[in-house]
Structure formats: structure tokens, C-alpha cells
Structure 1
């Protein structure tokens, strides 16, 4: 790790110790998932066994942040090929019936933020099972036993889950009766700490495990379980979504996803997209995710002095925000599914292009969306830029903490706040998720971000115990956009875990919930650790910030020109300096932004490490 000293040193000691050991390390957004994954390591499982076990637990204990009907993205390396980072693709495509024409016929100009019309084909479960089959060592029943136990026997309800349920209780009672039956057993949201169960989901997991009981070997058993999952989920989903139900636009619509859509999906792998920065290799997804925007930002910043990269100073915060705006503008114009689009990613990540973009950073804040030009290509039209969105449904808002109080981007889904003229909640969110990182003593390392299928995404599907996701709200109802809604095309996801290598060896796996903010918060971590010499826990604890000066990926897809959201701990002088430079600053509170976790490995010594976010008192790291 770098030990350069041109950054401002941390203002205080870290809130928690940087964990150190040689056996195995886990960091995640929920202590139960972390403990479950660590238990797998303790019983001889490898990082992939542990990550899959933890991920299925996250489905159960963080249902407001992810679910089996959602999606996931992972980036990993194996001990056998430590210098070859791979991406686990758990992002399902748009269903065959998800056409722009159909959505426009429903009087929509955006894909709604909640309801089955927003659902891509679920990809999370199949991806996790694929990873377990190919790189894990445990049998499926043993890996799923943790999740089955918490679903059948219960777990204490998080305060934030209870707060989310209280917010959408009216929607459930009036429009989503299956969700009300599942989450409001006595007609009201359960109190924080209530032991809640999900027996339908436990039964489903048991059934898919049983489907592989007669297999000749472990791999065949997992493939039989995958097939059983597709069959059972597909049949239940197709039958259920045919009935119209309330969506985020305030109207009632039927879904278009079918059993055939679900049966046709199979998770896959692909090579990671990488750039070098200060001697490190940073690995992300391709342009079907937002990950290359982090890579582009790093390339823009690499040509600047270290002093300009310190997010804790006025100059550094301004520079980082402006670089992010440029990379995100390119994301919103150029990125799409490379399987369907010719994305000019090599040029967008080139030294030549980064230098041209770097020259656009001035002393004052830009209030424009400024995508770059690619030689020989016509720059696509800008997306519709809305500072507000007219709808009969409640207006979108920044997150609110349970029990009141603003918490802009705190790391929970943003359930809409009703207006006085429209008191009904729709369940629409600006999006968030959960995260898990694992490293084992053999050198296997994985970073993964599961998401979608939030309990407030769409009505609970009877017989399954979970709902569908809303990833199609990443798409545009505009044929000219590289992110146009197109059957069979993957929506551009915000899910974006990160792997960092040095000299061909993995040294850091990290990630964060946060929708559009995920890569922005991870960038702060990377700058502080790789350039500033912070420890991982110090970097996670340090004051965070992000820009909102681009169209949001989530319904209703508005933006704040020149917008910057900062934690108050950044300091009055720095914040005043940003305002003086023309940034439209929102103070989020002292501990409001980011929920990063990370694991580390020193190839020279074999020493492992882990760190997790203290905000919200929910994420934890463990290891020895």
C-alpha cells in the first residue's frame, strides 16, 4: 500500500479497528451475513462458499435492500489465477414483452420505479449458484442452511426494515394485499427487533435443494437446483403479474415477464474491465454496469498532483466532484449492453481521452451535462434533463432516516415522501442494495453487490415469499439511447463491486450500496488508501461526498445541476469553499453517506484484513 503523505491525515482515530489475520476475512452490510460467511470459513469452506452463504442470508435479513427476485454483480479472482479478475454476471435482461411501444401504450414516458413493469429477469440466485458450482467446495444444502434457518426460525427485524414497512403500509393494505399478508400480519408494520420469518422462502430453498438429491455429483446437483428454481419461480411469477397492480406512476398495470423469460436466463462470467492507477490495477464490470465510470474518473485524476486528489480539502473535493461529473456524463450517453451496442469503451478509458476530459476541470463548478465526443461516432442525444417530474404519484425525495430526519444517500432505499396533495406511497425508490466481500487463506477473493427485489419493489409473489426487482427503471423509453428499453438487453446496472490488484496479485476487494453513489464513495476510499496512505477503516470512516449533477438512474430520473451532497464533518471551511466555487451543496449530516466494506490481502506476507462501515450500526467485518 502507498504511504504517501500529501493528503490531510485522518482527523480522528478510526471508529473500529482494522482487522488483521491470516485465516480469512469477511465484510458485509449486515452482521448476521458477516457472521454466517465467517462460520463457513471456520468450517473449511473457501471464499466462494462463504460469499454464497452470506448472500442468501442477506436476502432474508436485508429484504428492503435486496431479494431473490433481484440481481447481482460480482468480481473475483481465484487462488489458481490471481492475476485474472473475472466478473460474475447476475444481471438479467429485459423480458421479451418489455418493448418501448408497450410501455408507451400504457401512457408511460419513463419505466416506473415500482411494480412488475420495472422488473428485469431475476438473475441473482442463478449467479450465486453458478459461482458455487464452479469455484466453491461445499454442497448446496450446507451453504443454504444459514438462510433457510433464518427464514424458517426467524431473525430480529432491523429498524430500517420496520421504518420502510411503516412508510409503505398504506400501499400494501390498499393495493398490494399479498405484501400486506406477508409483512403486516396484524395489519400494522412489526416493531424493530420483532422476530420475523419467511417460511415460503425457506420451503422454496429446501425444494430446490431436494431437486438435486439424486444427482451423480455436486455440480450436477447444483445445476438441477438451478433448473428447479427457474421452473418454480417462472410459473409463480407469470401467473401473478398478469393481474394489474399499482405502479410508481400512480396507475395500475400488468407485468410482462413470463416463465419463458425466466427459463431462458443463465448467469455467466466475463473478463473484468481494468485500468491502471498509480501502479495498481482496478477491475470492474463492462459498460453494462456503471463500473467503467469509476475507471474513467481514476484516469482523469491520475494526471493531477496528489494534493488535488485529497477529498478532505476544498481543492480535492472540487476536483473529485468535477471529474465524476465528466465520467458520469459519458456513462449516461455512451454506456449500454455491449452484447447489443458497440460501446467505445477502449477510447473512453484511454490516456488520450482522459487528458482531454481533465482539461475541462476548471476552478468553478459545472452546471452542465458534458459528455465527450468519440472520433468517427455521432454523440447520442442527451437524456431528458428534469429537475422535477410531474406525476400523480408522490414526488421523489432524498432519503429520510427512520423516525424522521434527513439522511441524503444514507444507504437505504429512498421510499418516496408523499406530498400534501398526494399522500399515497408508491413504493418507488431511488435504489440501494447490500454488499459482501470475502478473502480466504488460500488467496481467493470476491466482492459482490446483490440488489433489487426490495420488499417495496412490487407485490410479494404468492408461494415464493419475495417480489420482483425494478432494474428496468435504468432504461429509457427512447430508441436512440444506448440504454433504451429493448427485449433481451441487459439494463445498465448501478451495481459495481471493485477489485484492486498490485503486480498481478489481488490486494483489495471493496464495494458499497448507494445506487448512483456506489462508485463515487468507492472512489474516495481508493484515493485515500492508494494515494493518501489511509488504512481501510480510516478511509471508510472519513467524511464522504458525492455529486448529483447528472440524471439519476432511478425513477423519476431527476438531477440537480451543480449538486453536491456532503457530510458535515467535511468542515465548514471546505463546504464554504465549495459553495464559493458554485457547487449547490446539500449537507447530509455528520455520518450519512456510504456503507462501504472491504477486505485486503498482502501477497508478500499473507496478512489479511477487513473493515466495514459504522454508519447505521449495521455493517460489520469479522475475521482472524
Structure 2
């Protein structure tokens, strides 16, 4: 089978990500004696510099890893929480019934830095200086600006010049939009990370003590102080059309730390898939497997109408449960065991019919009654769908996500999905050179729901890396950007390998599809019931059959959807593959 690039095979180490510079940075760490954790952290910080429209230092990152030393999978939660002042009443008093998608109000504690440092501290071997130096190099000396970054800056140029002057200083050098492939520098960000290194080194002591000092500088030192000083005192324009000051203080950062958790798992045939808890959408991948386990996918050809229809209809049921039940389990009861139970899914599976469903149908796990939000323009908006937000032709200011995977010769495997802190969504904090996550837009202002906003609560994020065991042995680490589509695209990839017999690259290169039936997790929370997007490489007869079954099919470009990357341990070899769509993702290894 033709593939856009080879599946990489070797026995030393593999790195795959959404940007070639990050992948090569990770590989250089492995070549110099670092392990997978060191490589992931260094590559993660480089992604913040070279893909600033997709993630940033003030963003979020969930991390899944397999440790050979621990002989277990773990989750590092780098999802920041709502500020202490972020209550439903506070937002209602501002006249808001939906969280803005931009500005200061949706800011949450920047969790990415703490998560990367926790990964480094507990599983890595390098110093703070070691892992930050590559990112500092690209920020200080420049990197080739992606065409998409240049286009994104052009889309928000007016916003920056008219309303967000601190962003204009960073992203409009000389007052102009930087061109694609220009040598783009971020000296303020370089200075921030250089100060982190200086304060870490000044602490002396052990490597662990120096990492603690770096975290203190961020969450209880100069970074936290700069964030409070700017966000609480400077109202800025947001998607409401009005200027609002922020709610986050230095105390909010000081109270937060990245947590290490057990993954939620599900056994599917001879595979065990590991995901984050229901503070992320990860269990929706597992729910889809629980439903699909009752269908004979082995008899269906990947990419056939039966294959697409069955997967899409099962997904609609799982995502409806996401809407009704998922939230931060530290605040609400999420009935994960019931949602994944055989009896519950046997009943839910009966709802998958021969024709496309046009209803949101959450279930009743354990006899509980689902509670659904009051969706804007409930439940459908007549507009083009989007997943994790992207820059639109209409000028909406949105961001997206990136992903990276690493496996080393010891067998440590890591999948991480950094996001948030997009320059398009929140103004640059003076002196720091970066902006903050607007992940709080995923909360509901309406109270009494699993994902209602509350102080110290994690928004139910879409970020969802994946780790899978095969026959009880660690096998595959994978993930993708894409918001609500992440646990569709990665599911299709997984099924292509598990049932289609494809290698990693073949599975990534297969024509992609996804539903936009579920409510969008991002502002303005639109829904497009029964609608299916599909790449143009699908056989026309498949598209015609899907339309006959009632799906509202929109055919997109031939290489328009899905940005999966993956690494694997298989047959004594290490393997890797990356997505050709977007023309910037790459896998490296030997």
C-alpha cells in the first residue's frame, strides 16, 4: 500500500510530533543520553515557540506515559483550574450566560509548565537548563515562521493594534504581519525562560530541588506576580464586544500543582486502552470501544459505508454521554464504571440503527437522570462546523492544539497533547512574552451541571492523548490535535490498526471522516445534528450510500482532516509515524 512516508522502524528511540523542529529536538535529547521523559519535555517547550497558534507557555497539557521502572501507566494532569473568583454568579453579574471565547475571563491557571516539570522530576534525568535551552535558542535566535502562523497573525492584526497592544508588540514586529518563513524571534519569552533557569540554578541543591525552584518561580514567583498585575488591572476586549478585566490572581497559581493520576482503562479484545479521567473527554474513546465491541468490525472493510456509519452512530451516543455526565471528578460524581459497563452498552447499542440519528441521546447509567445544558440556539446553528477552534475566514480569533509521542530504548512511552495559550485568544502578558489559556470557555455558566464553572475546578477539556497495551504489554502511544474530533480521529486510527491490519503510517494516511453532530466544546457551542464531514478520497459510492442512510455529508479536501502521530513497541522494534496533513508533522528515529 502506498503511504506518504515510511513507517519508521528501529531499536534506539522514536519521536513523532506536529512540528519537525520539535521532533528533531526530542530525538537529539535521546541521542545525547536523555530518556523519553527528557525528550518529551524539551520537545514540548519547543512546540510552544514554533507552533504558537496551537499552544503556548500559558497553556495546558495532559500527559500519558508508560514507565518500565514502575511497570504501569500514569497520567500527569496539566489542566489548570478556574480562579477562586470565577463563579457562575460573578459571570451572571457581568451579564454573561456563556463564557467568552477570548480575553481574560476564560483564563485558567497555566498548567503546562507544572506538568512538564512534574514529568521531568518524576521520570526524567535532565536539568531545567537542559530541557529549556532548545526552546530558548529558537525564541532568542529565531525560527522559520509557519505560513499558518503568519496567516493567523494577519487575521487578528486589527484586534492587536486596536485593543491588545501588548500582543501587537510581540506579534507585529515593526507594526507589520511577519511573512511566512521569516526569521521570527521572541526575546521576551526567551528572557522569561532564562530567568527560570537562573532562579532554578541559584537554589542549588539537588536536581529535584532545582526543579522545585523552577516551579516556585512560575507559580509563586515572578511569573504569577506578572500575570496578576496585568490580568486583574487591565480590561481587554473579548468576544462579548466589551472589555473585561481578568479574575485570576497569584494566589490561584500558588494553590495549584500538577497531579499524577491513574488512567481510566478499557479492555477491547486483546487491547487495553488508557485515557485521562472524565475531566477530559478521554473516556469517550473508551465508551465508543464499549459500544463497538458488540459489532462485527472484522467483517467490515475500513472506509466502507458500513464501517463509517457504525462508528459514527456509536460515537453520537458516547459523545451525548460526554455532554450529560463528564466533569471534574473532584467536584462531581461521574459514573465512569456504569458508562463503560457491559449491560449499559448492550442497551445503548440497540439505538444504533440503519439510518443516521438526528438526536442527542444521553443515557441513564445506573438509573441516573441526565442533565443537559441549555445550548445556545438549541440545539443547532446553521453554520460550518469546527472542532478545536481554528482561524476562520470571518476573522474569529481561535486556536488549536499540537501533539507529541516519544519511546526510548528502555521502553518508556509518552503521549502528550499540549494546547491553549494561543496568541489569538488572550493578550500577551507584559514582560513574560506569552498569553494565557482560555480553556475556561469550556465551562458552563449555568449551574447544576457536571461541567458548571466553580472556583478551583478543571474545565472538561477536549485534550486527550492515548496509550494502549496489547496482550498486556505496552504497545502504542498516540494522539492528535482537533478538539471534539480528537477522540474520533484517534479512534479511527486505532481501529485501522486493530481491525484493518494496517501499519502505523498506513493507518494515519487512510481517508478520514468525522461527525459534527455533538455540541462544540468551544465558543459559541454550536451543534450540527446528523452532519458528517469526509475527505474527498473516499469512494463516491460510499458517500452516496451514507447520504442514502440519512447522513448530511459534506465532502472536504482530499487531505483535510486528522493529524494523528504515534510511536509503538512491536516485535522487538520501536516504530513511529506522523501525519502528512498540514505539511509540518514529522517522525524521526533510528
Q: Does 1:232 align with 2:198?
A: no
What corresponds to 2:585 in structure 1?
619
CA shift for structure 1 position 276:
0.7
1:435-454 alignment to 2 at 5 Å? 435-454=403-422
Q: Does 1:121 align with 2:109?
A: yes
What corresponds to 1:22 in structure 2?
11
Alpha carbons 1:499, 1:509 under 8 Å: kept: yes
CA distance in 1, matches of 2:157, 2:87: 31
What corresponds to 2:391 in structure 1?
415
What corresponds to 1:405 in structure 2?
none
CA shift for structure 1 position 94:
0.6
Alpha carbons 1:114, 1:426 under 8 Å: kept: no
Q: Specify the SS of the correspondent of 2:173.
A: coil
What corresponds to 1:316 in structure 2?
307
Alpha carbons 2:327, 2:334 under 8 Å: kept: yes
CA shift for structure 1 position 385:
5.6
What corresponds to 2:572 in structure 1?
606
CA distance in 1, matches of 2:384, 2:439: 19
Q: 2:161 pairs with 173, 183, 197, which one? A: 173
Deviations 1:319-355 (A, max 9, x none): 1100111000000100111111111110001111111
What corresponds to 1:183 in structure 2?
171
CA distance in 2, matches of 1:485, 1:478: 8
Alpha carbons 1:112, 1:118 under 8 Å: kept: yes
Alpha carbons 1:247, 1:253 under 8 Å: kept: yes
Alpha carbons 2:373, 2:446 under 8 Å: kept: no
Aligned residues: 587
Alpha carbons 2:401, 2:417 under 8 Å: kept: yes
Deviations 1:343-399 (A, max 9, x none): 111000111111111111000000000000123423213542636899xxxx97556
CA distance in 2, matches of 1:308, 1:99: 51
What corresponds to 1:432 in structure 2?
400
CA distance in 2, matches of 1:267, 1:493: 15
Return closer, same or farther for 1:268/1:56 CA change in 2, 3 Å cut-off: same
What corresponds to 2:327 in structure 1?
336
Alpha carbons 1:497, 1:510 under 8 Å: kept: yes
Q: 1:146 pairs with 134, 137, 142, which one? A: 134
Return closer, same or farther for 1:309/1:94 CA change in 2, 3 Å cut-off: farther
Q: Specify the SS of the correspondent of 1:375.
A: helix
Deviations 1:231-287 (A, max 9, x none): 222111111112111111222111101111111110010000000112100000011
What corresponds to 1:562 in structure 2?
530
TM-score, structure 2 normalization: 0.97
What corresponds to 1:422 in structure 2?
none
Q: Does 1:39 align with 2:5?
A: no
Runs (5+) with no aligned partner, structure 2:
none
TM-score, structure 1 normalization: 0.92
CA distance in 1, matches of 2:492, 2:320: 19
Alpha-carbon RMSD across the aligned residues, in angstroms, is 1.6
Alpha carbons 2:302, 2:500 under 8 Å: kept: no
1:87-126 alignment to 2 at 5 Å? 87-126=75-114
CA shift for structure 1 position 311:
4.3
Runs (5+) with no aligned partner, structure 1:
1-11, 400-408, 419-424
CA distance in 2, matches of 1:224, 1:247: 34
CA distance in 2, matches of 1:212, 1:175: 35
CA distance in 2, matches of 1:345, 1:310: 31
1:181-220 alignment to 2 at 5 Å? 181-213=169-201, 214-220=203-209
Alpha carbons 2:128, 2:200 under 8 Å: kept: no
Q: Specify the SS of the correspondent of 2:204.
A: coil
CA distance in 1, matches of 2:92, 2:380: 17
Deviations 1:143-202 (A, max 9, x none): 111001001010010000001001111111111111111111122211100111111111
